Structure 1
Amino acid sequence: MKLFGTSGIRGKFKEKLTASLSLKVGKAIATHLKGEGEVIVGYDPRTSSQVIENALSAGLMEGGCDVIKIGMVPTPVLGYATSKLQAKAGVMITASHNPPEYNGIKVWNHDGTAYSPAQEREIEKIIQEKDYITADWDNLGNSEHMNMTKMYMEDLLEHVKVEPGLKVVFDCGCGAASHITPVILRELGCEVLSLNCQPDGFFPGRDPEPTPENLKNLMDIVKVSKADLGIAHDGDADRMVAVDEKGRFADFDKLLTLIAKEKGGKIITTVDASISLDECLKEVGGEVIRTKVGDVHVAEALIKEGGTFGGEPSGTWLHPEFSLSPDGIFSALKLVEIVSKEGPLSRLLDEIPSYYNIRDKIPCPDTKKDNVMEKVKQQLPKQFTEKIQIDNIDGVRISLEDGSWVLIRPSGTEPYIRVRIEAKKEKTAKKLHNMSRSFLEKII
């Protein structure tokens, strides 16, 4: 039984994710925790979230765990609360950037890090074997409600220092941070224009994924209103993306590099991050360490290596001085802080080297992914005649002598095989993309 992907359990409500499954997951988590301690539960505004929350909480309490419900919150608040309250675990109900018909369950450790693949396999095993513990009638878990948002916001304000006067357009995408990020920015002295800042599980303003295609309104409004920058979240605000004052969507890798340069030291990132990060970190005496894709792997490496900052090019970043949970809200504030002191954003981004990037995804049923990736591992290196370096940390990454590289890896959240290309010449990038796509389509 395979329930967990790169970012918890994820799927369409009623098809993969049901109240029945949520009850089993709650019982399995309680069993894993030996029926002891408190579990924090939060959810994003999706229409199915409270159904899942109620079923999952019932399973936790049946297994003897106490449940602290913190209501509709962004993922970073859930991670923060789990660590702050020293709970045994936390559970976030969200499908993050997926469409509204999707939902998900992601589990967190007491220190605010996501459950590891090994821990997730233990949960799956308990569900598969139906090996649940059940508390007696006089030892069932209790449930209580608690508001953690105010404490989270107050702590955030202690960690950033923004020069007042910036004009920021903020698009929360009708997600869980709608009542948080704009408020904090105003507290910091920014003039904020709000866009899609009312929680709504149908996501009527735009799709939850903050892509250039979905953020055209934000890009236009930043330019027309002469704002200093625009910022957007996904549905649960574990991610942050930005638009510069010229209305240009900020390159993911450049944003990651901008924050990394500010922090210096050991920077943890994933196999799909640009080589521009390595080049810029050398200038400030920093070091880049790569992991598998997924915030859990970034968090583990931050702890192991004593990293100062960790992030994925998707806009999912971790700031260990505050929390080991991916935090799009904290990321937004740090970007605003940098722009307020060193801006404009367009200049800061243009100073970072730019290479040709292609991201693609090719449909592939989840049931075929393992077989396809085994063939990729065996056959992809044979497609190259020049000297190559092969990296199998996550999928297969082929690095060429001229600095260009190809990464093919299975999506952990959707039925796709993902392709990532980077090259210093556009012609090379297109050639590598055509080769990779043709190669994959034949295998699939």
Structure 2
Amino acid sequence: MLDFFNFSTFTFSELVNNKQKIIKDKIEKNIDYDLIFDIIKFNNISDEDLNTNELNSIINKCAYKIPTTDGVRAISSKEVSNKNYLNTFIVDKKITPSFVKNYINSFVKLLNENIEEIAIAEDGRELLQNNNIKKAVIEALSESTIKIKDLQIVPTPLLVAYSLEKSIPAIMVTASHNPPQYNGIKLFINGKKLYPTSKKGEYQLTYNFLKTLDTKFNNLPNSINKTFYPMNTFEKVFYQVNWQNIKKTLNGTPLYLDFSNGAFSKIGQNYLHKQGIKTVNLACFLGEKNINEDCGVALLEGLPFSIKESKLNSINRLLKDGRIYQKDLFAIVLDGDGDRAFILKYCAKTKKVFVYNGDILGYIIAKGFSKTNKQGRFCLTIESDIALIPIIKDELDWKCNTVGVGDRWLIESIDEDIMFVGCERSGHVIIKNELFTPPLLSGNGLLTALLALGFGLSTYNFGFNRKITSYKYPLDKFYRGSLEWNKLENKIINFKKFQFKPFSIKYEYDVLLLKIFNKNNEEIGLIYVRKSGTEPKISISISTIKEYVEIAKDLIELLEKEIN
């Protein structure tokens, strides 16, 4: 089924011309899921596009899915009485209980009729927000015949592991690394987030959602049984960690923990204590302090590798304690739902703190596993350091490839019979855990950090990486083929110190991507322009090999003026 929706009026549009009828017929004959087309985008595409046999091209340009990176996230709010909740989500960037209830109902419709249970969990935001987001999830599920396994406050990767072991879907109430006023939902089927296409994808979920906009949250009282997380599943998740090496690395010092006051705060600390690891609590105040407020990985993104002074709490504390005790010190920094990690190391010799981001941790872990896995695949996203690819190929002789932004794309290129490590500079690292069937492929920040500490921290010859962001840019005017898109693309291409070649990546249709070449036509970098899926901002990121740092700085400064 293909329907047309007008997002200026939030109403469905009738078929009004022959073009719409032709495309509707073509789409319905060739795909097995239902679609909503944005009627405004459809009316703006050319006759040439409409007449093409490339269905994917038409779908990419016109198909609508609820806008976010994965799942849904926005500022958490109770009901807004005078607006519909879809308008509130899209225009006001707020998520309400009625929106969540419809979203969960739409998810349930994707599932097989024989699904009897769903596992749910939260990152702890609701303890302080109390905006009924989790309650809306429970109300939606309670109106179905599906039983609820409420794991309470558990990190996303542990929820996914549990759902894989029980062969049931999972729903996580979280806004991940986003600020404390945000909340949202992540959905999992067979241990994976939803992808756009297929009968169990985001397009189908969006279709279900838009067809039931009359759904409302009733705030009915409900009572469900709580489920405690099984320790045997926990042990399976962390079985590859070398605790003996970690203790040697720590050398009697405590491990500093900034868990963003989020989901790993209690369960993670308790597990480390069980393994004999002493800890210092920097930000593990679950239910006492806001998630991601003055803490967590988001504050560390974009920082230089070496830092001598800082006002950030985690770094400042390591600098202070390290200079007092004159010892190397280590900190693990996670995000709210525990799927991302950085490591901080205070070096007593240099009296500096070193910042190990997701790319560096991915490199360390791949190098560690390569000692027992001669064959492997290393996958990065377009956000990662491009200098890593030749290094991994040269040092490890592993296959390498690049995918779109976000951890769910990292696992698309996995090979069944060889080792897999995927990473993103922002702190996502994914490895294959074959103790689960199918293999567990969920990013786990605590596991990432512990594996890296167990293998021993090291670095590689970094490239140049810089990311700039604007909250002022007119986001609604930036899409493929728009005036703003063409303006930015031309600004980049007209920078004569480099040569550029536009390209695209699956599912990242509205991301402006260009490969960078030197005057000898050698590929030396990548640049992208991308709207955030979770916050009202646009980012430009550039990555080049080290020899071109100064030229790359000139380009990014030029573009920073353009978007601000």
TM-score, normalised on structure 2?
0.69
Identity of aligned residues (%): 23
Shift of 1:59: 1.1
Of 147, 168, 178, the residue aligned with 1:98 is 178
Deviations 1:36-78 (A, max 9, x none): 4111111111134772122112212323222211101111111
Report what 1:220 is aligned to. 319
Show the 5 A alignment for 1:203-282. 203=291, 206-212=294-300, 213=312, 215-220=314-319, 223-224=322-323, 225=325, 226-246=327-347, 247-264=353-370, 265-281=376-392, 282=394
Change in Cα spacing, 1:68 to 1:359, as seen in structure 2 (3 Å) is same
Change in Cα spacing, 1:35 to 1:2, as seen in structure 2 (3 Å) is same
Change in Cα spacing, 1:181 to 1:142, as seen in structure 2 (3 Å) is closer
Change in Cα spacing, 1:389 to 1:115, as seen in structure 2 (3 Å) is same
In 1, distance between residues paired with 2:450 and 2:328? 16
Shift of 1:414: 1.5
The answer as to 2:494 corresponding to 1:414 is no
In 1, distance between residues paired with 2:484 and 2:143? 40
Change in Cα spacing, 1:295 to 1:427, as seen in structure 2 (3 Å) is same
Higher mean displacement: 282-291 or 386-395: 386-395
In 2, distance between residues paired with 1:391 and 1:183? 47
Report what 1:195 is aligned to. 282
| Local SS of the residue matching 1:275 | coil
The answer as to 2:241 corresponding to 1:178 is no
| Local SS of the residue matching 2:237 | helix
Higher mean displacement: 315-324 or 182-191: 182-191
The answer as to 2:26 corresponding to 1:26 is no
Shift of 1:222: 5.8
| Local SS of the residue matching 1:431 | helix
Report what 2:441 is aligned to. 324
Report what 1:11 is aligned to. 74
Report what 1:427 is aligned to. 550
Report what 2:14 is aligned to. none
Kept after mapping to 2: 8 A contact 1:176/1:235 = yes
Shift of 1:373: 6.9
The answer as to 2:136 corresponding to 1:58 is no
Shift of 1:437: 2.4
Report what 1:342 is aligned to. none
User: Which amino acid counterpart does residue 195 of structure 2 have in structure 1?
Assistant: S
| Local SS of the residue matching 1:64 | coil
Higher mean displacement: 244-253 or 303-312: 303-312
Shift of 1:267: 0.9
Kept after mapping to 2: 8 A contact 1:94/1:104 = yes
Of 455, 465, 469, the residue aligned with 1:361 is 469
Kept after mapping to 2: 8 A contact 1:41/1:53 = no
Shift of 1:324: 1.3
In 2, distance between residues paired with 1:438 and 1:100? 30
| Local SS of the residue matching 1:238 | coil
Query: How many residues were matched structurally?
Result: 423
In 1, distance between residues paired with 2:284 and 2:319? 17
Shift of 1:156: 3.4
| Local SS of the residue matching 1:178 | helix
Deviations 1:246-296 (A, max 9, x none): 222224432332222223410111112112211221211112111111111
Shift of 1:161: 1.8
Deviations 1:303-348 (A, max 9, x none): 6796511121111111212621111121121012112xxxxx3xx1
In 1, distance between residues paired with 2:112 and 2:484? 37
Higher mean displacement: 205-214 or 17-26: 205-214
TM-score, normalised on structure 1?
0.86
Runs of 4+ in 1 over 6 A off after TM superposition: none
- What runs of 5+ residues in structure 2 fail to find an aligned partner? 1-63, 78-87, 89-93, 216-221, 301-311, 348-352, 371-375, 435-439
Kept after mapping to 2: 8 A contact 1:196/1:205 = no
Q: Which structure: larger Rg? A: 2
Change in Cα spacing, 1:338 to 1:28, as seen in structure 2 (3 Å) is same
Change in Cα spacing, 1:199 to 1:376, as seen in structure 2 (3 Å) is farther
Shift of 1:428: 1.6
User: Which amino acid counterpart does residue 127 of structure 1 have in structure 2?
Assistant: F
Shift of 1:23: 1.2
Q: What's the Cα RMSD here? A: 2.8
In 2, distance between residues paired with 1:304 and 1:130? 39
